[in-house]
Each structure stands twice: as C-alpha cells, then as structure tokens.
Amino acid sequence: MSRKIGIVGMGYVGLTLTAALADRGCTVYGADVSPAVVAALSAGRPHIFEPGVADVFAAHTGRTIHIDTELPRDTVDVAVISVSTPVDNVTHRPNLANLAAAARAVAASCRPDTLVVVRSTVPVGASRRVVLPELRAAWGERVRLVMAPERTIQGQALRELVELPQVVGGLDADSLAAGVEFFGQLARTIVPVSGLETAELVKLSNNCHTDLIYAFGNEVALIAERHGLDPLEVIRAANVDYPRPDLARPGYVGGGCLSKDPYILIDSAGDRRPFLVGKARQLNEYLPVHVAETVVRMLVEARGRSLGARLAVLGWAYKGWPPTDDMRGTPIATMMRVFSAAGVTVLGHDPMVTDDVIRQYGGEPIVLDKAFTDADAILIINDHPDYRAIRISELLGTPRPAFVYDSWRVLDADAVTAAGIRYAGLGYLPAARAATAGGAAVPDGPAGGAAVPDRPAGGAAGVDAEVLA
C-alpha cells in the first residue's frame, strides 16, 4: 500500500484529499506556491471551509500531515497533481500553466518509480500532452501516470471521497494497476477505464451534464415567467410519477467547476463546436443578470426610482446547501454590476462569508434582522438553512420592505404576502395589486414577466462546483 503521498496544489481538491488520506493512516506531504496557504495549513488551520477537514488537520498536522512550498525529495510513493486550471475570462480558453509547472515540480522532486496522479480538471488529452512530456524529460520512459478525476460535492467531500466510485485511467497497464491499488485504500468502488483521455472526459461529462440539466430548469422558469405561470408548479406536475428523468428546479449555477468545466469541454472539442454545452452555459450565466435587472425594475415600480434604494442581499456564497464560503462563480459578482449601474445600495449577509469579503464585492455588511427593517427590498440568492428557518413575522418592523425576491423559494410565501409584502422568485412574478392598509403592495396572481432574449448576453464569464456542486 502507498503510505507516503505527495499532493501538489492545496486548493479545495488537494485539501480534501489530504484530509481523507490522513484519516486513512497515510502520511501526506502537501505543497502549494502560496506562502499564506502554507502558513495557515502548517499551523493546522485550513483556509477553505469543508466539514470535517479542520478536525483532521488539527489532529494530524505536524504528525502525518506536512505542508511546504515543495514536496520533499525522493520521499513519496505517489504524487497527486491537484492544481487549478483556470479559464480565461475573455477567451474562455483553459490556462494549463499551473499543470505544466506542477508536473515539472513532481519530476524534479520525485523518483522515476513514483506513481503520478492527475487530479486537476483538464481538457481531453492534457495529461498526455502536458504532464507526460515533463515527466519523460526528467525520467525517460520510466513513467507511471494515471488520471483520476475528483467528483465530490462541496459540503460532503470527505464522505464522497470514500463513497463515490473512483474512476481511474492509466497510461499503460502498469500505471492503471498502481492507480487502482492506490485509490483502493480510500474509495469503496474503483472504476478502471481504458486510458487517460477516457478518465478526463468522464469528469467533464459529469459536470457539463449537470450544467445542462440546471439550464433546462432555468429555461422553463424564464418561459413560465413570460406567461405568468409558476415554474415550480409546472416542474412538480411534470415530475409526478413520470417514468423519465425529472426536470430540475431553476437555480443559479456557480462554484469552482460547473461555471468553468463547460469551457474546458468546448476546448476539448476542437474545431467541431458542441451544440448544447455552450448554450447551456450562456443561459446559466444570463440568469443572474436577468434577476438583477428584474429586481431593479421592481424597485423602480415600488419606490419610483432605483437610485439610492437599499437592497438587502442574503446569501453571497455561490450556494447555501451544503453550506460553503466559496465565492467562485457566485451570482452576486455579476449582479453587483447591474445594481451599481442602477445606483442601488447593496446590504449583504451570509452566515458563511465574512464581512470583509462582502465589502470586497461592493456590499455593506448587515445583520439578518436589520435586513428586514432597514432595506427597501430583499433578495435571497442562496438557500442556506438559516434562511429556510426565517419566520417573517418575527423580523418585520416599520417600515417594511416593498418586496422579497426569494430565488430558491425557501420562505413561507403566504406569510410574506400576509404581511403586505410582494413575493417573487425565479421565474415567478405575481403582479402587485393595490396597497393594503400597511402601505405595501401585495401579489394578485401571476402576470407576464420580462421577455427573454433569444441569445442571452451580458452574463459573467465562466469562472467552478463540483456536482453541486
């Protein structure tokens, strides 16, 4: 069994794998180019939130977890490459410089008999085209290389690293056998595949299929909005005892993978552009723009203007469940441009995100109860359990917000409207009727929403969630 493991890149993928392997009794040497990351992890303080990881680092740092800027020379049996493969915000082309640098670092510090595992998400062919030449330049033909994609969901990574089937593709039979043996000490089920490229395409297929599924739910929501229908009613009715795949609920699609991997798959296709993947990504990137523009319009309808209006945004991380502090691909990044252009003051709250991060994105931090008394309107972006637990009557004062745009429909809509507050959600825009005695408009059944362009534009450039992932 491989008991000394090196991991190059201590982002989310490397961090969680380190914790999982250490918990299995392995000695793990983590390497990262960021001095801040190295300092934090060397002190046993993970820089990324993931349930269970902090406990493992507290127990094993300095004993079986060692973090530095490079791997120890001639020490590890397995070297895992888990560096980022970012996509350019303008060209949408993947940048593989980190991958090549990590391969060179492994070749320089490890023995030729070391098993090298590519864990990063890469275009089809990149393990062979980018990693293998760096290893062969240093080691000759004595290379053992596998591609084993990471497919966990944030918030459940330590469990899924064990329970999810682990796909492994090898350079050759010897590499594959070594990869299967290595991951066999961690995952319950191993799925060997015929080569490096197959494993690479497995990861891209998983995440891009998820992006497509969510995009269709969002498409249904935008059409329902145009016709004054409730998309959740449509989707629930469509799914009841229907023996075909369920329709997904509408929702934002962000995070570290889903907003990046479609572009990597498109790049993998070369000159033959995919028909569906780019369109789905375009739609999912358009959704935050559409919601932000809708909220601004509702502010104008309710207050006569958007300039100077105060909007409380609840949920700044890209998702609320499982809880995370990850801001990669967060909808608020795109929305803030719309709100700023409209002169809206944005107040921010998230149970997982620090006040400093909210300020970095242009918001003013606010506590949850103040959001319902100090804002002209409320926008809920993610479905963190704290928001599901809101009892609207306990938070309201005078004056009250004109409306609540509940993206995930986590609040009690009847309680919101009973309080004289207009209620809306993704694809759901009941019209406001005459003001009640309390002075606020209340809904009077669905009405047609804004038209949706044939070709969504203005969305954010692709930025990642594992299978939400």
Q: Which two tokens stand for residue 178?
A: 């070594």
Cβ neighbours of residue 342 closer than 8 Å, sequence gap 6 or more: 296, 299, 306, 307
Contact assessment for residue 52 and residue 158, using Cβ atoms and an 8 Å cutoff: yes
User: What per-residue confidence (pLDDT) applies to 437?
Assistant: 38
Q: What CATH fold (topology level) applies to the domain 4-194?
A: Rossmann fold (3.40.50)
Q: How many Cβ atoms sit within 10 Å of the Cβ of residue 374? A: 15
Instruction: Look up the pTM and report it.
Output: 0.89
User: What per-residue confidence (pLDDT) applies to 432?
Assistant: 67
Task: Flag the least confident range among 2-6, 23-27, 73-77, 301-305.
Answer: 2-6
pLDDT band at 447 (very low <50, low <70, confident <90, very high): very low
Q: Which two tokens stand for residue 173?
A: 């039979």
In this structure, what are the phi and psi dihedrals at residue 197, rounded to the nearest 5 degrees?
-65, -35
Please state the rounded mean pLDDT for residues 176-189: 97
User: What per-residue confidence (pLDDT) applies to 464?
Assistant: 37
User: What per-residue confidence (pLDDT) applies to 460?
Assistant: 33
Q: How many Cβ atoms sit within 10 Å of the Cβ of residue 427? A: 31
pLDDT in tens, 392-418: 999 998 889 999 999 999 999 999 999
4-194 and 228-469 have identical folds = yes
Task: Give me the percent of the chain exceeding a pLDDT of 70.
Answer: 91
User: What per-residue confidence (pLDDT) applies to 1?
Assistant: 59
Please state the rounded mean pLDDT for residues 434-444: 43
Please state the rounded mean pLDDT for residues 257-266: 95
Peptide bond into 323 cis (omega under 30): no
Please state the rounded mean pLDDT for residues 323-352: 97
Mean pLDDT, the chain, rounded, equals: 92
**Residue at 203: amino acid letter:** K
- Phi-psi group of 374: left, alpha or beta (phi > 0 → left; psi -120 to 50 → alpha; rest → beta): alpha
The CATH code that applies to domain 228-469 is: 3.40.50.720
**Per-residue pLDDT at 152 exceeds 80:** yes
Q: How many Cβ atoms sit within 10 Å of the Cβ of residue 269? A: 13
**Per-residue pLDDT at 442 exceeds 70:** no
Domain ranges of the chain: 4-194, 228-469
pLDDT in tens, 203-240: 999 999 999 999 999 999 999 999 999 999 999 999 99
